[in-house]
Chains A and B, each alone.
Chain A
Amino acid sequence: MTIDLRKDFVDYAKSLDKASEDPNIKKALTRAVSSYRSTVAETLERFPHTAELAEEVRELKSQSIANLDKLLEQAMASVERNKGKAFYAKDHESALEIALGIIGTNKTVVKGKSMLGEELLLREYLEEHGNEVWETDLGEFILQLRKDRPMHIVSPSIHVPREQVAEVFSKFFGKEVPPDIAEEVKVVREFMREKYFTAEIGISGANVVAADTGAMVIIENEGNVRLSTGAPPVHIVIVGIEKIVPTFQEAMKVAEVTWRYAQYGIPGYVNIISGPSKTGDIEKVTTYGAHGPKEFYVIFVDNGRSEMAKQETFSEALHCLRCGGCMYECPVFQVTAGHFGHIYMGGIGTIWTAFVAGGMEKAAPMAYSCLRCGRCVERCPMSINVPAMVGELRKRSIYGE
């Protein structure tokens, strides 16, 4: 079978050219790149053990990916031991069905930022099934109102300046919101507060999972994850199976390296959640749903990841911690932002596009827009060899798989 990709290349090239002329992208990315570079340099200097720790994490991620099946089994057992419910979703559809099975319809859902959520188009799916879903991360909330998609994995609304935020907020809230960042933050805070306490369901991703304990580590700065995962009576974690590492101690190492390369000395909040809320204060009888959720679910999503793990050239792509550092150093990303992407972005995102979200049709044009310049490898705490993988993808797009 032959698939004609020529039109896809043309459309993609057009979107890149258009993005490179967008003054908002130019302004925002220029600011973001220079601030990322100076902050991360300063942070790495302040915590000089980070580079060595990254080496250690690289090794342990590599081991973990090699033992994915065993770790998954162990992590699921740990979640169950903690009185949570663990699910394995082989693909996109089953992940959505499991989530819908837990949630049902006519519910209010508050959701934290998650690239896996984007991959599954989870919000859209739940909305189609009669639920009210709110993105609680400020950047994601802006995009939800704009019906827009993320332009960076850590800073999704990087391309939207305050004036445009004010415009979309004024329309949504039905009152004049000035183009003042503090005001914009405040109006969302007030709106969301009510949602946290009326929602039946909270959904979050997780940055790392410890198989031995079943602990989910979630890194954030806004505090929206605390509230989304703490206030509603049900908490659902959706997480890719590549996020599992053997032990709690190792999970802490992964988390520290992740936030450090995402330019934080220490993030505002590090959430560690391992099961439903409980108390034994009355007669030592364990009762669930004290202040936090009474029900706790974890959906481990595969959706192409174990296939990636099996292929020698590509398994390394699963080491990605999603710190976003590579994107700031990518010359193509610097001028086009997330337009160099489908759901996942940049060079590493090209590999994820091929295996997890989009397929070769989307990945092939992206692969050819990568310069293979290799600066992402310099930045990457896991030294993921993206240019080599892009080369292999090009080969596959020429000769077929």
Chain B
Amino acid sequence: MKTRSSLWITITGCCGLFLSTMIFFGCKIQSGNTIAAMNDSTKSFTAIVTSAKYADNLTRVEYKGRSVYNQYCRVCHGEDGDGKGFNAYNLKNSFGVEPADFTDSTFMVNHTMENIMNVVAKGGKRMNKSQYMPPWGETLNREEIENVVAYIKVFSRLKALGDLSK
């Protein structure tokens, strides 16, 4: 009689274990399917609104950086980052200074993220470059500088892609 009851206990225990495991993993599989369904419909509102890619295939950080760039940097460094902005002509004529060309990949490779961030924050003079690059450290906060440097890096990437397609 005693053996029979312990057998019963073991059987029920096993069933309980099996069931609870099933229930638990069942829930997991269920939620996994929902994610897959959401990703499938790329055109859905949720997909567009939560997408990590922004206009022109930029990341969120680069996209934010673009508006800072267009506001403060574009006038000299140019809309396409080629160093030929509206004011570049005057700088060359008056002082013989040319704004940096961000599409030049060799130039960009030689400058680390940290290095460019320093030039943006402290200005050209303190980084042994031209004094006509002003310091932005008091105007932009660290986050904005990070964003704008991320965007500056995009130009050489785009150029490289353009060269490849030729």
* Bound pair (A, B): no
**Could you list which residues of chain B lie within 8 angstroms of chain A, going by C-beta atoms?**
none
